[in-house]
Structure 1
């Protein structure tokens, strides 16, 4: 078993937010990062009097929380916006706010029931009230001797694990996202970056639309980042979609 896999399971736990109580934890964490820490523009705390940042897409989204085991604190969350079962043709946010180059990908021809938009990729920052807990992860890893090449590379990787697990649960094979190019560059360090499909836009800051097939991410990880692939797929057990279906 590789060191990254071992470190992840020792220090973190992924929790599917599948109850009203856990969803409130998701919305509280997003409020902390987006409204209190002000990590992105356009999230005025006065719009959320109950300290819960939520929107119209949460009703048809899958959410996951990242728990730091030793402090028993949630330190991250991410959601997949799924096709709305009550309105199957409802546009994803990327379709409303971004200019997409149809020569690269025609979203209208994607199998929408297998498409999800990655959204609210959120990690508690260094200036939050949980600063000590967040920073203590690396210290714990060093204490256990998991250092340099072998230590857990980034909390972002833990959320990628969550994304892949949600994809397996909901039969998702295509990713969309509107994100800061700097985040996409960070994800490229672990083989999980997406392809740009349009120009930069001003949408909660300067961001860009992206797309990729999940199978391409997993293939790239397998070839170039084998330890990360072993983690995100649980050695090939977590993601159960038939590969022929994913490649369509």
Structure 2
């Protein structure tokens, strides 16, 4: 039995934001985190009088919400910016805002199978643990109340990764691009989800760095080093991103490999 999977199913649910109502939930949550909680440069609340943060990339993105099952609240969100079907040559944000290293030629990627991970957010009360501010390490702050028991699920960002892998499989995405805080990449590294830096630090809503990761290589590495996390994010091998038409790995083979 995989206790991480059990804890995820107890505490969290990934919800596809594929209706106008759910998209409004996404935009309101982004406004809450970016404009009210974090107050990042470029996300001043006065720019969003309707209380919703959205941009031109949302029209060709796949969106998800993370629901906290015990409370029913949405506590996180993320999107995959997909190639624009109307303008396939439209650059990703990483191409517009970041300086890429010479060794990384983004034009060599299979562009139709690449997407940019963006707006990966968790609300403050789930992002902060009591131990982060000097309290006991085994207390989790949830709605301003401490639950005095060992942390069963490592971090909500790992739950968001479940949704991102699921969306990538649905859209045949095999490469992720991103511009993120290096601290977030260090957190992802704890779970085998690290991205490869492909450029220097830049000022983009704070100090950020461009990254790339080949999903197949990342998941193969994770299968070896973090097998329980691999089972979680791939649903025991049922959700593996791959180009259309490629032969899927039989689930019996995957499970046999796990049991070895």
TM-score by length of 2: 0.85
How far off its partner does 1:47 sit? 1.1
Shift of 1:220: 1.6
- Tell me if structure 1 keeps the 8 A contact 2:191–2:226: yes
Q: State the alpha-carbon separation in 2 of the partners of residues 243 and 83 from structure 1.
A: 15
Query: Matches of 2:192 and 2:211 in 1, distance apart?
Result: 15
CA separation of 1:14 and 1:44: change in aligned 2, threshold 3 A: same
Unaligned runs of 5+ in 1: none
Where do residues 76-115 of structure 1 align in structure 2 (5 Å cutoff)?
76-103=76-103, 105-115=104-114
Q: Equivalences for 1:110-129 in 2 at 5 Å?
A: 110-126=109-125
Structure 2 match to 1:213: 214
Which of the pair has the greater relative contact order for Cα pairs under 8 Å at 6+ separation? 1
2:241 and 2:176 map into 1 onto residues whose CA distance is 17
1:131-142 to structure 2, matched below 5 A, reads 133=142, 139=147, 142=149
Query: How far 1:38 moved relative to its partner?
Result: 2.4
The aligned counterpart of 2:174 is: 173
Give how far 1:240 is off: 5.6
Local SS of the residue matching 1:211: strand
Within 1, Cα distance between the matches of 2:43 and 2:109?
31
Residue equivalent to 1:33 = 33
Q: CA RMSD in A?
A: 2.2
Give the count of matched residue pairs.
235
Structure 1 residue aligned with 2:60? 60
Task: Find runs of 4+ consecutive structure 1 residues off by over 4 angstroms.
Answer: 242-246
Distance in 2, matches of 1:119 and 1:196, equals: 16
Compute the displacement of 1:132 (Å).
6.0
For structure 2, the residue ranges without an aligned partner over 5 or more in a row are 128-139, 248-260
CA contact 2:113–2:243 (8 Å) conserved in 1: no
